[in-house]
Structures are given as structure tokens and as C-alpha cells.
């Protein structure tokens, strides 16, 4: 009987194959008391283990360099940095000296303490760094015990990797010719294991507590990395549906090369601008600027979070100039610092809040600490001399907040002009629509706003009162809810009536099943992770503007999420499949 397990979608795609259980835990960790005279010897063993694991990691990095993007291959640089972190080494040596325990035990204790620190962090991305420390500890102990790493294979057959978690060092043990998917009990979408799965093109679902108990090696399963589900012992109907999706994916992959650099337009010639979301300077290396209309969301907070202190104005200018240079004259939208909530700064003390996501974050923090806002806006202005820049304000709830930021921007531009410092005179100030209360008062704030960008990730979870990162309620997070569609319609109508541009920069912008609805609701700018741009371009070529408007009108009038999803299945998915099939037939 088929069983459906819900987890976290970590890497897109579909896979069908038997599950194979893998266990990476070391069977036995020796424990003994260390005499004072032998402490130096244990420290020497640590030096040898660090050198050996460093060599192994660099070898693995070289092996995977051809398969990973420039940014993702740096994951192994981060692991090497942990190995050679002087604080990490001092802590391990102190454990040996003070507790008189052998190196293997000292490593276990220090790694456990580090894990606890990371696990307590609010930021999901920082919480996932615990896995990196755990991976380093496992590799060091394995090197000390001279344990040969077991390859993750299924004797030359296709398989699904199932384990407690997928760590960066595991990537070198996979049989990449036959692995079809990854499913784990632990982990999150921000973990380095998940990032590697995405970069290697392996569908992955993580965070399924019961997967190892519910399955055995040899269990046939489906991994749906799009929806975040795993189906054990699938029914014939399940297999038919997912085999169809696999055929569809192969057709998409073939067509992506055809449309990657073509204009993003509907069949009747309506242009829809597709922008890229960027999480920091590192993302710029892999950006295909020819395939996009510009950078629709540059998340500046990641540059702040990677540092040990606030970056200076000049340091910020250098980062923002990189983005401007990469965009080659196309617009770049810089979101001002959006920390707080799930994105704390380690060097900036935040208050202890019961509900930090609804607390002191985003523009609230920056207006209370105006030096941060002044420095960042001035840096963006200076960098804007290289092209066309836009400034986006997060977590806005009222017109007065926009007016205060507008006053800061006007003062800074006047100062720069007076001192002869170049900047983009066309620079725009926009508002991120993510707080529901802002929607009904948009007409009040639009006169002092140049553009809108809808942050659907937060907007949807606030509208539905669902924490999308909470596994217990994540299944209730569904942007296809008719109420969500009606709010999106209201936002687009207000912006269009005022003659202001409006874009979507949340995850639904990159969901091609949502594309016809968004176009029909009045959106002509979509900003997404670059990997989704070709798929959205393909969908745009499947529906005319009139058809998009008809679909959106019908969806908005529906009374349940189930009805909207049925409309997607019956009319959007079916058209998509026919279009791909017709294209394949024409190639034969």
C-alpha cells in the first residue's frame, strides 16, 4: 500500500528507484585517559588528522569542480576553513589538556558544543552550519581510526540514497552514474548537503523523521523534490503520473537550451521581464546576464551576515559595484538590510523576542539605527554611478516609514551632488509588500513610492498564519489559496492604477505553474532564482495574455485551494504537456 511522507523540498526534480539505506556513523569510538606526558602526542595526532582531511577535501573539491558551480564548489573551502580555525583547534587541545581524554573523545565533545551553538541560532541558514561541524568531526575521527570510507553504491543499479543526513563529504562517495534521488531524516533546504544536491541535479527531500523506519533497503519509492514528498510503495497510478513527469522533465531539459537567451514573451507578443534573485556577491559569478532583464532582488543582508562586524561604507560600495558591473547596465534592485527575525547578525545584539519574525527587523531596525540606513543608502548611491540602481525597503507597514526613508535618500543625493560624487540620477525607491496591512493602504503610499515588489514568501505565511519552515504545519502553506490570489490581484490593481511598476520576488515567481495566474493578474516583472528562468520562459510561451487573464479571473473566484489546484492540473499542466509533446513530435 502506498504511503506518502511529507518533508522539505531541498532539490527540484523527480526520481523513481529502490531505496538503499546508508549509515555513516562510526561503530566504535575508543576512550582512554591521557597521561600528562602524552598530551603533546595527542596534539600531534590532531595536526596529522587535520592535514589528512584537508588533503581529502581538496581532492574532493577538484573531483567535483566540473559538476558544481563556482559558488557551490566553495562549500569545501568553508570546511577547510573550519579545520584550520585556530579557535576550533584551541578548544580541542584544551579539552585534551584539561580533561585528559584522548583526541577522538575531545573531538566529539567540542563538536557537540559547537553543534548546540549553531542549533540555537534563529537563522535557518546558520543553523545548518551545525552539519558542517558534524561532518568535519566525523572525517577527523575517521582519519584517526584509519576507517576506509564506504562508497554509497547499489552494485551498479539505480538507487535512492536514504540516510540520517547528507553531508558535504558524502558527495564524493556517491555512485553518480546511478543515484537518482536523496531522502534524509534530518537537514534543511539551506544545508550544504541540500545545496550540493541542487548543484549536482539530484532531486532531494529532507527532514522526513520516519523515512528510515517506514522503509527498508529495496523499497520502491518516488522522490518528489518539487513538492517535498516521498511516496513509498507507489501505486500504479502514482507511477504513471511520475513517469509522465520524468518524460516531461527530459523534454523541458531539451527545450531549455532553445529558449535560454530568447525574449520572455507570451505567444501574442506581451513581454514579461524576468529578473534574477541574488543572495550576495558569490552568486554573481554564475549569473547569465544575457538570459535575464537584470537583478530584481539583491539581498544585502547576506554580505552583512558573513562578516564579524558591520562593513564600512567603502566595503559596501565595493560589493554593490560588483553587482552593477555584472549587470552590464541592466537594473539592479538592492534590498536594504533585512536582518532580525530568522536572520540575526552575530556581532549585533538583538533583543530576546518571543516572536522575532514579527519583531524588530527590516526597516524597523534601520529606522531605529539610522546610521546603518545612511551608510547603506550612501554606498548604494555611490555604486549606482555604474548603471541603474533601485533601492527596496523591506517590512514596510505604513506611508510614514516610506516618507522617512525618502527624506534620507533626498538628503544623501543632495550631499553627493554638492560634493561632486557621481551617482545614478534615475535611482528609484521601492517598497516590498510583505505585511498584509500594507495592502489596503497602498493607494496612500504609492505617491511617494517609485515601484513595488511583492515578497510572497512572508506575505503568504502572514496571510495564512503558517510558518512554512515548521514541519508540523508546512503542508498548510499553499500560495494557491484563493485568498492569496485575491490579495495579489489587489496589489497589482493598485500599482497599475497608479502607473507604478510591480514585481513578484518571492518563490512563486519561479513556480511555472503560477506564471499564467501572475500574468493574468497584471504582473509584468518576475524575479526568481536564476535556475527557474528558462522554465518560466517556456510557460510564458504557452498562454496568450487573454488566456492568462481568463485563468486568473476563474481562480480568484474559486472557493477552495483544491479547486484552484484542479484548475492548474486540468488546464495549465495539460497545456504544458501538450506543448512539450508537440515540440518533441516536431523534432522527430
Give the residue numbers annotated as catalytic, written as ranges.
192, 505
Residues 162 and 212 sit within 8 Å (Cβ to Cβ)? yes
- List the alpha helices (DSSP H) in 419-479: 442-445, 456-464
Within 13 Å of residue 20, how many CA atoms lie on the same side as its CB? 20
* DSSP character at residue 267: T
Q: Helices then strands (H, E): number in the chain?
A: 22, 16
Cell triple for residue 161? 540514497
Cα angle: 23, vertex 28, 29; to 5 degrees: 115
Phi, psi of 578 (to 5 degrees): -65, -40
The residues facing 183 across adjacent strands are 162, 205
Residues 320 and 380 sit within 8 Å (Cβ to Cβ)? yes
Residues 564 and 481 sit within 8 Å (Cβ to Cβ)? yes
Distance CA 471, CA 209 (A): 10
Residues 451 and 428 sit within 8 Å (Cβ to Cβ)? yes
Q: Is the dihedral of CA 419, 421, 426, 429 positive or negative?
A: negative
Residues 384 and 422 sit within 8 Å (Cβ to Cβ)? no
Phi, psi of 449 (to 5 degrees): -125, 140
Distance CA 289, CA 272 (A): 16
- C-alpha separations of 558 from 229, 460, 555 in Å: 26, 18, 5
* DSSP character at residue 532: G
Residues 519 and 272 sit within 8 Å (Cβ to Cβ)? yes
Cell triple for residue 11? 532539490
Cell triple for residue 115? 553543534
Task: Tell me the three-class secondary structure of 161-207, residue by residue.
Answer: EEECCCCHHHHHHECCCCEEEEEECCCCCCCHHHHHHHHHCCCEEEC
Residue 102: name the closest of 54, 66, 157, 144 by CA: 144
Distance CA 360, CA 84 (A): 36
Distance CA 365, CA 370 (A): 9
Strands (E) across 473-540 are located at: 501-504, 525-528
Residue 451 CA from chain centroid, whole number: 24
Tell the residue number behind the cell numbers 579545520, with chain if given.
Answer: 83
Distance CA 524, CA 275 (A): 11
Count of C-beta atoms within a 10 Å radius of residue 453? 28
Amino acid at each position: 500500500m502506498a504511503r506518502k511522507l511529507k518533508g522539505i523540498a531541498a532539490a527540484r526534480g523527480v526520481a523513481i528507484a529502490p531505496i538503499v539505506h546508508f549509515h555513516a556513523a562510526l561503530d566504535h569510538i575508543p576512550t582512554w585517559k591521557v597521561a600528562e606526558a602524552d598530551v603533546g602526542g595527542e596534539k600531534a595526532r590532531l595536526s596529522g588528522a587535520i592535514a589528512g582531511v584537508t588533503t581529502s577535501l581538496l581532492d574532493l573539491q577538484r573531483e567535483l569542480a566540473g559538476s558544481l558551480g563556482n559558488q557551490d564548489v566553495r562549500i569545501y573551502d568553508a570546511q577547510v576553513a573550519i579545520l584550520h580555525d585556530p579557535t576550533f583547534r584551541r578548544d580541542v587541545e584544551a579539552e585534551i589538556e584539561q580533561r585528559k581524554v584522548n583526541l577522538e573523545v575531545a573531538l566529539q565533545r567540542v563538536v557537540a558544543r559547537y553543534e548546540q551553538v549553531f542549533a540555537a541560532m534563529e537563522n535557518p541558514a546558520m543553523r545548518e552550519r551545525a552539519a558542517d561541524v558534524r561532518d568535519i568531526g566525523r572525517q577527523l575521527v575517521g582519519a584517526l581510526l584509519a576507517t576506509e570510507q564506504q562508497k554509497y553504491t547499489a552494485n551498479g543499479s539505480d538507487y535512492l540514497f536514504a540516510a540520517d543526513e547528507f553531508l558535504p563529504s558524502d558527495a564524493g562517495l556517491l555512485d553518480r552514474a546511478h543515484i537518482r534521488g536523496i531522502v534524509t531524516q534530518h537537514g534543511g533546504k539551506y544545508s550544504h548537503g541540500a545545496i550540493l544536491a541542487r548543484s549536482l541535479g539530484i532531486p532531494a527531500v529532507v527532514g522526513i523523521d520516519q523515512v528510515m523506519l517506514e522503509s527498508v533497503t529495496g523499497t520502491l519509492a518516488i522522490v518528489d523534490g518539487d513538492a517535498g514528498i516521498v511516496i513509498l510503495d507507489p501505486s500504479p497510478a502514482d507511477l504513471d503520473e511520475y513517469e509522465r513527469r520524468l518524460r516531461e522533465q527530459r523534454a523541458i531539459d531539451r527545450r531549455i537550451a532553445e529558449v535560454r537567451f530568447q525574449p520572455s514573451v507570451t505567444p501574442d507578443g506581451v513581454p514579461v521581464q524576468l529578473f534574477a534573485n541574488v543572495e550576495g556577491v558569490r552568486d554573481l559569478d554564475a549569473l547569465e546576464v544575457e538570459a535575464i532583464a537584470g537583478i530584481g532582488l539583491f539581498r544585502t543582508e547576506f554580505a552583512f551576515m558573513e562578516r564579524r562586524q558591520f562593513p564600512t561604507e567603502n566595503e559596501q560600495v565595493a560589493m554593490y559595484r560588483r553587482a552593477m558591473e555584472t549587470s552590464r547596465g541592466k537594473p539592479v534592485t538592492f534590498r536594504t538590510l533585512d536582518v532580525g527575525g530568522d536572520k540575526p547578525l552575530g556581532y549585533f545584539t538583538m533583543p530576546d523576542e518571543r516572536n522575532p519574525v514579527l519583531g524588530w527587523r527590516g526597516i524597523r531596525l534601520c529606522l531605529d539605527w539610522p546610521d546603518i540606513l545612511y551608510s547603506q543608502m550612501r554606498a548604494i548611491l555611490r555604486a549606482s554611478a555604474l548603471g541603474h540602481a533601485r533601492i527596496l525597503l523591506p517590512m514596510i507597514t505604513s506611508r510614514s516609514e516610506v516618507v522617512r526613508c525618502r527624506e534620507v535618500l533626498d538628503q544623501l543625493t543632495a550631499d553627493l551632488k554638492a560634493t561632486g560624487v557621481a551617482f545614478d540620477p534615475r535611482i528609484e525607491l521601492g517598497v516590498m509588500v510583505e505585511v498584509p496591512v500594507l495592502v489596503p493602504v497602498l493607494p496612500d503610499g504609492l505617491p511617494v513610492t517609485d515601484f513595488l515588489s511583492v515578497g510572497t514568501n512572508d506575505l503568504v505565511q502572514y496571510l495564512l498564519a503558517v510558518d512554512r519552515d515548521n514541519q508540523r504545519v508546512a503542508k498548510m502553506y499553499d500560495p494557491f489559496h484563493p485568498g492569496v490570489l485575491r490579495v495579489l490581484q489587489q496589489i497589482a490593481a493598485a500599482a497599475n492604477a497608479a502607473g507604478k511598476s510591480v514585481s513578484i520576488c518571492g518563490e512563486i515567481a519561479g513556480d511555472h505553474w503560477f506564471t499564467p495566474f501572475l500574468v493574468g493578474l497584471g504582473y509584468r516583472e518576475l524575479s526568481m532564482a536564476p535556475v527557474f528562468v528558462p522554465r518560466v520562459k517556456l510557460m510564458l510561451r504557452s498562454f496568450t495574455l487573454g488566456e492568462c487573464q481568463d485563468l486568473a479571473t476563474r481562480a480568484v473566484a474559486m472557493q477552495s485551494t483544491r479547486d484552484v489546484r484542479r484548475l492548474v492540473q486540468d488546464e495549465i499542466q495539460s497545456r504544458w504537456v501538450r506543448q512539450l509533446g508537440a515540440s518533441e513530435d516536431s523534432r522527430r
